């Protein structure tokens, strides 16, 4: 998500799947959209039938590839090389949408002399501190940023945490810098970009991605021609891009490509981040994540920046652009949390929030759990025993807990690790020696509770309760509410400083029915925001104030409940091509983000064919087919007075309103931990050395979290000669709790299988329909062998590289069971969002089943000990 956030201003898909019908070309990469978003894929089919190119680039020929007009095989982990090749193609042949690039991006910004690119420093950007293994991001700013306005150093390096960078909020104040609109100055971003991607030639792509040159050129021509005033192209991606040690930079590559081609904010353009779960967008917006607060505000980090609210606001508030309203949002959030107890005198309760002191993400705290440092854990609607990387470690770590509370609709593997797991089978864990107290609470299903999901296109949709949940099953709302009342009762009896937050917490939702279920609409109303003693709903985030008179649980959702009785997430009367009248999209029901860019600087549409939002000179406001993502009455020729602040500080031709300079960022001056531009690094385990930088094999800022129970192969490694990638199938869902337990889905894909090419099968003497065993430095699994020409060996730098395809849905519980592919993955962290690398690791494949019990580990250890 920071890939999109730093490039454009918000971390979310910029458009909706239904807008794809307007594309002349669609590039699907890092995604198997037909299998994992089948109903969303109907729009791709429709685009194709209207003549659009549908290009699929992927290590496997999947059901998406079968529907594409062009497919290219790709070596897993070489995405930046491929996308860089497309960028090189655009720049080399002058195919950029020039007017868009000059006016709507920072291509014209000039960099100071001391900023150096990875091409000049053998794979590192300037500002690398080898001792701390981090970049000082202050070294990437533009020439002549006023020193007096410079914000305090971004502490991304001191206290890692990447999601706030969605906002671009932590950028240094960069509204004033030198520019060259002719794009010819040798140090302007455009020229730096050209030099940066100069080596990403079609030959390079063929040699190191495995994409034949003619195929690459066919793709480049097809995609890059969908640009200009009459044509647009869209890019769709999913975890095939994000689950890499360079995940954010892969997305950044796509963002740069789209900015160069002028595709952002336009119909049929944009970047469609295809997220995976019903409300995963919601769970980042209203986050159950450690480093952010609702609406992408930053969790306070322990240190002087968070000693007072004023220091914290000073740290994050931009002078120009929409984040100048930052103070209104944090104060309103604190009022929502702490109500009347939050006053100006106590900094609105800011001091009651916990401070972040390091990496508190899943990967990090799970390693702490393994080391005995975590006593208690809640797991709600997630199944890390199957779905988390290095699943063997995940399961063993659960045995170190004092207490565990699992809430789910079925008994998932995470709840039964203590008696039914490979570790118990192998004798690594013994049930009678596991001291973990386990509570498994049954959960309500979606039709048994009110509430709303936020889908991949940022659309909030309310789902109505149809029936009561069965037996003792309850919603998470019920659980949290009643747990909270119990804990607040305890806090009431102990009103010391540690319980100040808990005692202040507003928790007065009303309950209904025999089951005493909280009224969920009241929670949504709090999320929307209200004002006054009678809690009058606010109409939108524009009404929020920093004086304590408004409360708002999540400012980007504000407007979803603008009046009593008006739950816009529940609206069900679509009345426009973009679905207005059905649900509520954040922000403010804008369906295509940055849609000011669908008009020229002068406010007229780029073309009749591609009109979306435009300036109506008669009524003096922006109008069109979508809600303008722009101040409605700001004229296109508006020029801000010197020293103007906030939104007034942005001119009328600056579409990227979340950024302090109002333009799309090709070069990201601040906000990312691993570089202002994407550059190619190999995955953490690779069959080859980095062809670009012999001295810098992998992303220098990525975290391997190497330890005896989380080891890595060498690059290359004769023990593990094949490249492995993991993925999902249409028939199953993630860790299988919602599919392997259901007869009608279980029978569609009953067994864990592995896809290999006929060539690899011959090399390893594996029969199709038989069994094979896969090993990595982390573990050993067995799977059925599916030998298919859809898996292709690639020629990489003159040698054959085989790829192995491994779906990850199986575990030990359910109607259909099998080994878990995640036993093979390492715990690693991409430096911005801390996501693991699940694609592009090294493995070996042997014919036949693995041994049962402890003998499996013996075989695995023997394999690891083979000498090179």
Partner 1 sequence: MTSNQAHHNYVAEGRTVGFFTDPTVCIGCKACEVACKEWNEVPEDGLIWTGHSYDNSGSLGGATWRHVKFRETENPVGWTFLSDVCKHCEHAGCLEACPTGAIFRTEVSSVYVQDDVCNGCGYCIVGCPFGVIDRRPQPLPGAGGAFKCTFCYDRQIDGLTPACAKACPTESIQFGPLDELHARADKRVAELHARGVADARIYNPVDTSVGGIHAFFLLLGPPEEFGLPPRPEVPTVYLRGAWLSAAMTSVLALAGACLAFALL
Partner 2 sequence: MFTQLLDGWPLAQQILHGRDGTGLEARSARTRALSPKNHGAEFARSVCPYCAVGCGQLVYHRDGKLVSIEGDAESPVSRGRLCPKGSNSFELLTHAGRQTRIKYRKPYSTRWETLDLEDAMDMIADRMWDTRERTFVEERDGQSLMQTTAMAHLGGATLDNEENYLIKKLFAAGLGMVCISNQARI
- 684 cis-preceded (ω within 30 degrees of 0): no
Contact criterion met (CB below 8 Å) for 237 and 31:
yes
Residues with Cβ within 8 Å of residue 867, at least 6 apart in sequence: none
Q: How many CB atoms lie within 10 A of CB 616?
A: 11
Stretch that binds partner 1, among 65-73, 98-106, 596-604, 827-835 (CB under 8 A): 65-73
792 binds, among partner 2, partner 1, none (CB under 5 to 8 A by kind): partner 1
Sole residue written with tokens 């109903």: 39
Could you say which residues in the range 779-798 bind partner 1, by CB under 8 A?
A: 784-786, 788-790, 792
Contact criterion met (CB below 8 Å) for 424 and 494:
no
572 binds, among partner 2, partner 1, none (CB under 5 to 8 A by kind): partner 2
Least distance between partner 1 and beta carbon 772 (Å): 12
Least distance between partner 2 and beta carbon 605 (Å): 23
747 binds, among partner 1, partner 2, none (CB under 5 to 8 A by kind): partner 1
* CB nearer partner 2, residue 466 or residue 855: 466
Contact criterion met (CB below 8 Å) for 270 and 257:
no
| Coil, strand or helix at 688 | coil
| Coil, strand or helix at 623 | strand
- Give the closest residue to 327 by CA, choosing from 451, 169, 206, 181: 169
DSSP 390: S
Check binding of 762 to partner 1 (CB under 8 A). no
67 binds, among partner 1, partner 2, none (CB under 5 to 8 A by kind): partner 1
Check binding of 278 to partner 1 (CB under 8 A). no
* CB nearer partner 2, residue 401 or residue 785: 401
Beta strand 437-442 with 536-537 is unpaired
State how far the Cα of 828 lies from the Cα of 830, in Å rounded to an integer: 7
Could you say which residues in the range 23-52 bind partner 1, by CB under 8 A?
A: 34-35, 38-39, 41-42, 45, 49
Least distance between partner 1 and beta carbon 751 (Å): 4
* CB nearer partner 1, residue 70 or residue 311: 70
Check binding of 572 to partner 1 (CB under 8 A). no
Q: Which of 410, 487, 748, 859 binds partner 1 (CB under 8 A)?
A: 748
Check binding of 401 to partner 1 (CB under 8 A). no
Stretch that binds partner 1, among 164-172, 175-183, 514-522, 743-751 (CB under 8 A): 743-751
Contact criterion met (CB below 8 Å) for 703 and 143:
no
Q: Give a three-class secondary structure readout of 124-141.
A: CCCCEECCCCEECHHHHC
6 binds, among partner 2, partner 1, none (CB under 5 to 8 A by kind): none
Task: Please give the C-alpha separations between residue 395 and each of 243, 438, 783, 786, 807, in angstroms, as whole numbers.
Answer: 21, 13, 20, 28, 19
State how far the Cα of 294 lies from the Cα of 504, in Å rounded to an integer: 19
* CB nearer partner 2, residue 117 or residue 521: 521
State how far the Cα of 432 lies from the Cα of 414, in Å rounded to an integer: 18
Least distance between partner 1 and beta carbon 244 (Å): 25
Least distance between partner 2 and beta carbon 75 (Å): 24
646 binds, among partner 1, partner 2, none (CB under 5 to 8 A by kind): none
Torsions phi, psi for 795 (to 5 deg): -95, 110
Q: Please give the structure tokens belonging to residue 660.
A: 């302090």
Least distance between partner 1 and beta carbon 847 (Å): 15
Contact criterion met (CB below 8 Å) for 363 and 394:
no
State how far the Cα of 107 lies from the Cα of 179, in Å rounded to an integer: 9
Beta strand 271-273 with 233-237 is parallel
Least distance between partner 2 and beta carbon 245 (Å): 14
Q: x/- contact string, 699-738, with partner 1 (CB under 8 A)?
A: ------------------------------xxx-------
Query: Residue 217: is it exposed, middle or buried by C-beta count within 10 angstroms (0-12/13-18/19+)?
Result: middle
Check binding of 760 to partner 1 (CB under 8 A). no
Check binding of 764 to partner 1 (CB under 8 A). no
Q: x/- contact string, 816-845, with partner 1 (CB under 8 A)?
A: x-----------------------------
Least distance between partner 1 and beta carbon 150 (Å): 52
851 binds, among partner 1, partner 2, none (CB under 5 to 8 A by kind): none
Least distance between partner 1 and beta carbon 657 (Å): 35
**Nearest-10 crossing angle of helices 202-209, 213-224:** 120
Q: Please give the structure tokens belonging to residue 493.
A: 């009896």
Counted residue by residue, the chain has a size of 868
* CB nearer partner 1, residue 346 or residue 730: 730
* CB nearer partner 2, residue 464 or residue 767: 464
Q: Give a three-class secondary structure readout of 445-461.
A: CHHHCCEEEECCCCEEE
Check binding of 435 to partner 1 (CB under 8 A). no
State how far the Cα of 26 lies from the Cα of 28, in Å rounded to an integer: 6
Q: Which residues bind partner 1 (CB under 8 A)?
A: 34-35, 38-39, 41-42, 45, 49, 61, 63-67, 729-731, 743-751, 753, 768-769, 784-786, 788-790, 792, 815-816
């Amino acid at each position: 998500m920071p890939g999109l956030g730093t490039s454009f201003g918000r971390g979310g898909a910029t458009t909706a799947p239904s807008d794809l019908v307007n594309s002349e070309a669609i590039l699907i990469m890092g995604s198997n959209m037909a299998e994992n978003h089948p109903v969303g894929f109907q729009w791709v089919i429709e685009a194709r039938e209207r003549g659009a190119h549908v290009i699929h680039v992927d290590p496997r020929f999947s059901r998406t590839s079968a529907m594409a007009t062009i497919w290219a095989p790709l070596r897993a982990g070489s995405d930046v090389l491929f996308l860089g090749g497309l960028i090189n193609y655009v720049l080399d042949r002058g195919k950029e949408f020039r007017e868009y690039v000059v006016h709507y991006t920072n291509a014209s910004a000039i960099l100071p002399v001391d900023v150096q690119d990875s091409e000049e420093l053998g794979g590192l950007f300037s500002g690398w501190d080898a001792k701390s293994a981090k970049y000082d991001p202050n070294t990437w700013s533009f020439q002549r940023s006023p020193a007096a306005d410079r914000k305090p150093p971004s502490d991304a390096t001191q206290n890692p945490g990447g999601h706030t960078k969605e906002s671009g909020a932590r950028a240094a104040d960069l509204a004033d810098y030198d520019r060259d609109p002719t794009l010819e100055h040798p140090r302007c971003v455009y020229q730096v970009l050209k030099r940066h991607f100069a080596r990403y030639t079609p030959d390079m792509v063929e040699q190191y991605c495995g994409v034949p040159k003619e195929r690459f050129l066919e793709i480049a021509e097809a995609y890059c021609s969908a640009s200009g005033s009459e044509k647009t192209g869209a890019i769709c991606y999913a975890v095939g891009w994000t689950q890499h040690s360079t995940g954010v930079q892969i997305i950044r590559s796509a963002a740069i490509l789209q900015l160069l081609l002028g595709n952002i904010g336009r119909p049929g353009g944009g970047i469609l981040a295809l997220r995976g779960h019903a409300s995963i967008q919601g769970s980042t917006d209203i986050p159950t994540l450690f480093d952010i607060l609702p609406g992408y505000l930053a969790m306070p980090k322990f240190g002087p920046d968070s000693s007072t609210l004023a220091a914290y606001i000073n740290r994050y508030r931009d002078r120009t652009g929409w984040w100048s309203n930052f103070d209104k949002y944090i104060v309103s959030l604190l009022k929502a949390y702490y109500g009347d107890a939050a006053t100006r005198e106590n900094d609105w309760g800011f001091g009651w929030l916990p401070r972040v002191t390091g990496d508190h993400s899943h990967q990090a705290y799970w390693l702490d759990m393994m080391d005995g440092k975590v006593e208690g854990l809640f797991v709600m609607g997630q199944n890390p025993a199957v779905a988390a990387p290095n699943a063997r470690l995940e399961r063993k770590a659960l045995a170190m807990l004092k207490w565990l509370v699992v809430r789910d609709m079925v008994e998932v593997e995470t709840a039964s690790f203590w008696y039914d797991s490979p570790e118990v089978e192998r004798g690594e864990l013994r049930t009678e020696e596991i001291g973990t107290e386990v509570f498994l609470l049954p959960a309500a299903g979606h039709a048994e509770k009110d509430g709303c999901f936020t889908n991949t296109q940022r659309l909030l949709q309310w789902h109505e309760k149809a029936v009561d949940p069965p037996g003792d099953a309850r919603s998470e709302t019920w659980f949290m509410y009643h747990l909270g009342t119990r804990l607040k009762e305890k806090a009431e009896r102990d009103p010391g400083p540690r319980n100040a937050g808990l005692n202040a917490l507003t928790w007065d939702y009303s309950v209904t029915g025999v089951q005493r279920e909280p009224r969920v609409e009241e929670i949504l109303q709090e999320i929307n925001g209200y004002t006054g003693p009678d809690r009058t709903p606010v109409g939108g985030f524009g009404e929020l104030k920093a004086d304590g008179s408004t409360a708002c649980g999540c400012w980007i959702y504000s407007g979803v409940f603008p009046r009593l009785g008006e739950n816009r997430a529940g609206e069900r009367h679509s009345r426009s091509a973009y679905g207005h009248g059905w649900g509520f999209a954040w922000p403010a029901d804008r369906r295509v983000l940055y849609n000011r860019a669908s008009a020229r600087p002068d406010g007229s549409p780029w073309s009749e064919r591609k009109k979306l939002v435009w300036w109506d000179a008669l009524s003096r406001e922006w109008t069109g087919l979508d809600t303008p993502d722009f101040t409605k009455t700001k004229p296109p020729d508006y020029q801000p007075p010197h020293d103007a602040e906030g939104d007034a500080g942005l001119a009328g031709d600056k579409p990227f309103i979340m950024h302090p300079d109002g333009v799309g960022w090709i070069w990201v001056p601040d906000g990312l931990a691993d570089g202002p531009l994407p550059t190619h690094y190999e995955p953490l385990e690779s069959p080859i050395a980095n062809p670009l930088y012999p001295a810098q094999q992998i992303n220098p800022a990525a975290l391997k979290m190497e330890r005896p129970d989380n080891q890595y192969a060498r690059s290359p490694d004769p023990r593990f000669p094949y490249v492995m990638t993991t993925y999902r199938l249409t028939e199953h869902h993630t860790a299988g709790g919602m599919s392997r337990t259901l007869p009608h889905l279980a029978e569609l894909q009953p067994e864990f299988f592995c896809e290999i090419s006929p060539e690899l099968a011959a090399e390893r003497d594996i029969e199709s329909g038989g069994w094979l065993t896969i090993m990595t430095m982390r573990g050993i699994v067995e799977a059925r062998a599916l030998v298919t020409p859809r898996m292709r060996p690639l020629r990489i730098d003159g040698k054959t590289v085989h790829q192995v395809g491994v779906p990850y849905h199986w575990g030990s519980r359910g109607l259909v069971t099998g080994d878990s592919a995640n036993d093979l993955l390492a715990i690693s962290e991409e430096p911005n969002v801390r996501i693991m690398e699940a694609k592009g690791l090294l493995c070996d494949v042997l014919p036949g089943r693995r041994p049962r019990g402890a003998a499996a580990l013996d075989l695995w250890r023997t394999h690891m000990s083979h000498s090179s």
